[in-house]
């Protein structure tokens, strides 16, 4: 296993859980694995595909994922192909022929193909070493992305009693996990629940005000970073993409209302670094294998934490630092609630509402974001400070909100609890509006009682009281706020309210600062890194594959830190296997040597001390 890991994939060691999973598969045991995006799921079935006799069949839901995975496998010297609706009949026949003749290590197929009459019989005519079910949560109706096509997979273990089945997903609660195992009829599977913690991701939540301006400010601070911006509607996707293009950013839209060919072109342009930003609805993303996504922005509130976790998980798959930024406004809650209230099934509506409330709690509670995310998936976080979310990065302190909460609730009570947030805030701040005068609300006792603080303070207080369950919103299109039983205890002076105060800052640039520190200490040459990215892009364009399939950003950054100029030195770089060394080694070592020479520096002197001493000993 280790020899293949090094020779084919260029990795010196397994990531957590990979070795145990591969060992069980090689022993022909079923496996169920929950592993976060970027945790190395694909290696868990690609490595056995090389070692076991016969073909590994991978069930994957998206055409784009299949193509990228096959391109990546072929770059590593693995014989791989896919079968889906994008192929012409002649291409399909060629793949079937290679499969039947035993010339494929890996075959990727869509789940709906299992429903085609006779397809299982076709599979039975070929030696199969493993069935790998990717995005396995799609088979569970309790999951966030249930797909009926996956139900046809339930007969695989009966049809192939001697072939192991391995199911993988990045997001599954314990309830979803057991449902997947039951529906796939896995046989006493080896279970893995890897940590959901992604230490390289920096989570931030900011109050949504003028979100387009807020996004522009962020992008101006990160002019070279590729990233994804999620919006909930097609119209908002098109509008934001247009704004970004007008401001000089390379951005493209992606949503289900576009022609399939245009969606595919835009996705490929993003994968191949031809566009830097994709603005998309949730129709974009599942199965995206692009490793160098440096940020994921949610300009609107996701419907549930599972979706949010999976979407943010598309950032930083290469292990490098990446930003996950959520802009949260109460209007998002009302819009989602409006559609939930229209659900006819009571159970479905209750589940959706529970998930939305958990999402709102994540966005509005000033508690470590990482701790909240992990807690949702029944995982505890042992540290007091994660040092990688807005709550932990910024100073916080507990403040007494009791008096202000009583002012706000008093205004609600004295107006019959029949009004929305904006009107109540206008009352307590003493706004002189026609509506307030017409209704006589300028004469109630709490009119203007909070005029010593701005409206932003009172809106934030509303968010805090909603999060703590002291007030609640009712109604969908025009929601009003009402005091809960617990809130009445506060209003009557029988209970206090405390909250977390933190200083609002613009999204910081921890990633840029970390790279700058590395440059200043001589650990990494950023100019060389950009030069290697350019070479990678040129090679990728000539071969018609995404750049990250040739080498990941992590691999290029390691080259820019260690300056390999010989094949032996290049072989020690993460992600450089034998096939890639043969194919690209001379181009990259030549580029590094040329850079060192053009900069007028001696190669030995510019290497980090550890590298210089190691080379001296070898000499």
What are the tokens at 407?
């002012």
pLDDT at 205 (0 to 100): 92
pLDDT value at 482 more than 60? yes
Pairing mode, strands 396-400 and 498-502: antiparallel
pLDDT at 397 (0 to 100): 67
pLDDT at 513 (0 to 100): 52
pLDDT at 591 (0 to 100): 94
pLDDT at 500 (0 to 100): 66
**DSSP character string of 550-602:** H--HHHHHHHHHH---SHHHHHTSTT--HHHHHHHHHHHHHHHHHHHHHTT--
pLDDT at 29 (0 to 100): 96
pLDDT value at 512 more than 60? no
Pairing mode, strands 277-280 and 498-502: unpaired
SS (H, E, C) 93-137: HHHHHHHHCCCCCEEEECHHHHHCCCHHHHHHCCCEEEEEECCHH
Of all residues in the chain, what percent are helix, strand and coil, respectively (each to 5)? 50, 15, 35
pLDDT at 546 (0 to 100): 86
pLDDT at 317 (0 to 100): 86
List, in order, residues 6 or more apart from 247 with CB less than 8 Å away: 216
The whole-angstrom separation of Cα 316 and Cα 526 is 18
Cβ atoms within 10 Å, residue 265: 14
pLDDT value at 83 more than 50? yes
- List of domains in the chain: 2-193 (3.40.50.300), 201-388 (3.40.50.300), 398-502 (1.10.10.10), 521-618 (1.10.150.80)
The whole-angstrom separation of Cα 95 and Cα 119 is 14
pLDDT-based confidence at residue 502 (cuts at 50, 70, 90): low
The whole-angstrom separation of Cα 266 and Cα 163 is 38
The whole-angstrom separation of Cα 13 and Cα 10 is 9
User: What Rg do the C-alpha atoms of the chain give, in angstroms?
Assistant: 27
pLDDT value at 458 more than 70? yes
Residue that wins the pLDDT comparison between 161 and 170: 161
pLDDT at 383 (0 to 100): 83
The whole-angstrom separation of Cα 563 and Cα 531 is 13
What are the tokens at 298?
């949610």
The whole-angstrom separation of Cα 157 and Cα 550 is 36
The whole-angstrom separation of Cα 292 and Cα 582 is 24
What are the tokens at 415?
């107006």
The whole-angstrom separation of Cα 454 and Cα 265 is 47
User: Residues 468, 472, 476, 479: is their CA dihedral positive or negative?
Assistant: negative
Can you tell me the mean pLDDT for 591-612?
A: 61
pLDDT value at 309 more than 70? yes
Between the ranges 143-152, 164-173, 243-252, 287-296, where is the mean pLDDT highest? 243-252
The whole-angstrom separation of Cα 277 and Cα 279 is 6
Give tens-digit pLDDT for 334-378. 788 878 888 888 888 888 888 888 898 888 777 789 999 998 888
pLDDT at 602 (0 to 100): 47
Rounded to the nearest angstrom, the gap between the alpha carbon of residue 47 and the centroid of all alpha carbons in its chain is 25
pLDDT-based confidence at residue 36 (cuts at 50, 70, 90): confident
| 551 CB-contact burial (10 Å; exposed 0-12 / middle 13-18 / buried 19+) | buried
pLDDT value at 31 more than 80? yes
Do residues 213 and 506 touch, judged by C-beta distance below 8 A? Answer: no
Do residues 82 and 67 touch, judged by C-beta distance below 8 A? Answer: yes
Give tens-digit pLDDT for 184-242. 999 999 999 988 899 999 999 998 888 999 999 999 999 889 999 999 999 999 999 99
Between the ranges 98-107, 116-125, 138-147, where is the mean pLDDT highest? 98-107
- What angle in degrees, to the nearest 10, is found between the helix axes of 18-26 and 41-51? 40
């Amino acid at each position: 296993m280790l020899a293949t890991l090094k020779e084919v994939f260029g990795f010196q060691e397994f990531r957590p859980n990979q070795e145990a999973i591969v060992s069980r598969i090689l022993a022909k045991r079923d496996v169920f694995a929950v592993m976060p995006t970027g945790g190395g799921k694909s290696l868990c079935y690609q490595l056995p595909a090389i070692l076991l006799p016969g073909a590994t069949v991978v069930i994957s839901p998206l055409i784009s994922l299949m193509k990228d995975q096959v391109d990546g496998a072929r770059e590593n010297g693995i014989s791989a192909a896919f079968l889906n609706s994008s192929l012409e009949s002649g291409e399909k026949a060629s793949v079937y022929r290679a499969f039947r003749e035993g010339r494929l290590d890996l075959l990727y197929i869509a789940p709906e193909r299992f429903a085609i009459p006779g397809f299982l019989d076709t599979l039975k005519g070929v030696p199969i070493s493993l069935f790998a079910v990717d995005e396995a949560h799609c088979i569970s109706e309790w999951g966030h992305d249930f797909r009926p096509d996956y139900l046809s997979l339930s007969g695989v273990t009966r049809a192939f009693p001697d072939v192991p089945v391995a199911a993988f997903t990045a997001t599954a609660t314990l309830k979803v996990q057991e449902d997947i195992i039951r529906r796939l009829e896995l046989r006493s599977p080896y279970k893995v629940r890897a940590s959901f913690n992604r230490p390289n991701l920096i989570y931030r939540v900011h109050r949504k005000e003028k979100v387009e301006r807020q996004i522009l400010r962020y992008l101006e601070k990160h002019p070279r970073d590729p990233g994804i911006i999620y919006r909930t509607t097609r119209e908002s996707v098109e509008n934001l993409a247009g704004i970004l293009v007008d401001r000089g950013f390379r951005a493209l839209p992606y949503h289900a209302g576009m022609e399939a060919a245009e969606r595919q072109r835009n996705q490929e342009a993003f994968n191949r670094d031809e566009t830097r930003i994709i603005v998309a609805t949730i129709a974009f993303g599942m199965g995206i294998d692009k490793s160098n996504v440096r940020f994921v922005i949610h300009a609107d509130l996701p419907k549930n934490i599972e979706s949010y976790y999976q979407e943010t998980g598309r950032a930083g798959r290469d292990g490098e630092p990446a930003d996950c930024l959520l802009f949260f406004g109460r209007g998002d809650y009302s819009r989602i609630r409006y559609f939930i209230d229209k659900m006819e099934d009571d159970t479905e509506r209750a589940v959706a509402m529970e998930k939305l409330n958990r999402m709102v709690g994540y966005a509005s509670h000033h508690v470590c974001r990482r701790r909240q995310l992990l807690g949702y998936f029944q995982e505890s976080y042992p540290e007091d400070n994660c040092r990688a979310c807005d709550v932990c990065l910024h100073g916080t302190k507990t403040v007494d909100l009791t008096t202000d909460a009583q002012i706000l609730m008093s205004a609600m009570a004295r107006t019959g609890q029949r009004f929305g947030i904006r009107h109540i805030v206008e009352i307590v701040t003493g706004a002189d509006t026609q509506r307030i005068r017409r209704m006589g609300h300028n004469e109630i006792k709490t009119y203007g009682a909070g005029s010593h603080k701005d409206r932003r303070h009172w809106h934030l207080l509303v968010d805090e009281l909603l999060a703590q369950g002291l007030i609640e919103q009712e109604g969908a299109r025009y929601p009003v706020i009402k005091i809960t039983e617990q809130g009445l205890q506060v209003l009557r002076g029988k209970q206090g309210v405390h909250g977390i105060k933190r200083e609002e800052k613009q999204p910081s640039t921890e990633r840029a600062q970390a790279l700058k520190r590395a440059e200043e200490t001589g650990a990494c040459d950023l100019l060389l890194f950009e030069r290697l990215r350019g070479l990678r892009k040129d090679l990728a364009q000539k071969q018609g594959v995404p750049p990250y399939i040739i080498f990941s950003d992590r691999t290029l950054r390691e080259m820019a830190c260690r300056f390999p100029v010989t094949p032996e030195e290049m072989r020690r770089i993460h992600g450089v296997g034998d096939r890639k060394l043969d194919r690209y080694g001379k181009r990259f070592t030549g580029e590094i040597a040329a850079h060192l020479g053009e900069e007028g520096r001696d190669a030995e002197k510019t290497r980090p001390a550890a590298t210089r001493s190691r080379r001296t000993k070898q000499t």
